Amino acid sequence: TSGNGGDSDKEKEKKTLRVVTDAAYAPFEYLDKGEIVGFDIDIVKAVAEEAGYKVDIANTGWDPVFLELEKKIADVGVSAITINDDRKKTYDFSVPYFLSTNKIMVPEGSDIKSAEDLKDKTVAVQNATTGQEAVEGLLGKNSSQIKKFENNNLAILELKAGGADAVVADNTVIEEYAKNNPNDKFVIIEDKDAFAQEFYGLMFPKGSALKVEFDKALNELLDNGTYAKIYNEWFKVDPDVQILKDQQ
Ligand code: ARG
């Protein structure tokens, strides 16, 4: 940092974008001593900077991310948001920046060994996520065995309290949780037949001019090593950039 205080004139001209997130999804977006941090946060900051914008990041919660973008109140949504056809009807997405899949988190010793085993169990999910959708596919759309929560941390608390037999959510989130909370004694189950590959994108209001600018900036970061640097800081391994590029 230059540390000389005061923005340059060029800095001052930059437009500030309203970026919305649900900061209850570590390590992608979460609160650390009141500050919104995470892999997604570093990515959106770097991409915006590359594209020539400043960002103002607001922790709105999950449903408002979608509402604000639909109403064009916010400029960008970043929230480990899976790109899918249903959402594409209402929003625009950047090129993919992360590969994910749903997995199952259960207490150690659970008899749940696959997605199929969820059929006579109670499953906690975050409302309006691909995890909910996947579980609905297994248990039925209106199944009373599906407990929906406003954020994923609440779904995990339900599992902890014994009110659910499993949580279904994005692999990285529950893998990190299980690793960082060994006393909870949760284990993660993968089921590649039941849960598809998903890709996260930055989300924009439909027709936003930012899509093109952000795609260009994100590609620059994928190519120049900045993406890999951020990825490495959070996940301690190198990303598979090619798998993202192949999706474009
Ligand atoms: N990837 C999933 C989806 O798009 C879950 C994302 C939840 N993100 C969050 N910040 N709570 O539906």
Render pLDDT for 55-96 as a digit per residue (tens, 0 to 9): 999 999 999 999 999 999 999 999 999 999 999 999 999 999
Ligand 1 centroid to residue 4 C-alpha, Å: 39
pTM, two decimal places? 0.95
Average pLDDT over residues 147-170: 98
Q: Is the C-beta atom of 40 inside 6 A of ligand 1?
A: no
Position 13 scores a pLDDT of 81
Q: Is the CB of 79 under 6 A from ligand 1?
A: yes
- Per-residue pLDDT of 221-230, as tens digits, reads 999 999 999 9
Determine the straight-line distance between the first and last CA of the chain, rounded to whole angstroms: 34
E-strand spans in 11-97? 15-21, 24-25, 29-32, 35-37, 53-59, 76-77, 91-93
139 lines ligand 1 (CB under 6 A): no
Distance 128 CA to ligand 1 centre (A): 8
3 pLDDT tier (thresholds 50, 70, 90): very low
- The pLDDT value given to residue 186: 98
| pLDDT exceeds 80 at position 12 | no
> Mean pLDDT in the chain?
96
In this prediction, residues 203-210 reach a mean pLDDT of: 98
Distance (Å) from CA 82 to ligand 1 centroid? 7
Confidence band of 2 (pLDDT split at 50, 70, 90)? very low
pLDDT of residue 8: 55
pLDDT of 87: 98
Q: Which atom of ligand 1 is nearest to the CA of 25?
A: 10
pLDDT at 9 over 70: no
DSSP strands (E only) in 127-228: 146-149, 166-170, 186-189, 197-200, 203-205
| pLDDT, mean of residues 97-110 | 98
CA dihedral 246, 21, 40, 26 (to 10 degrees): -120
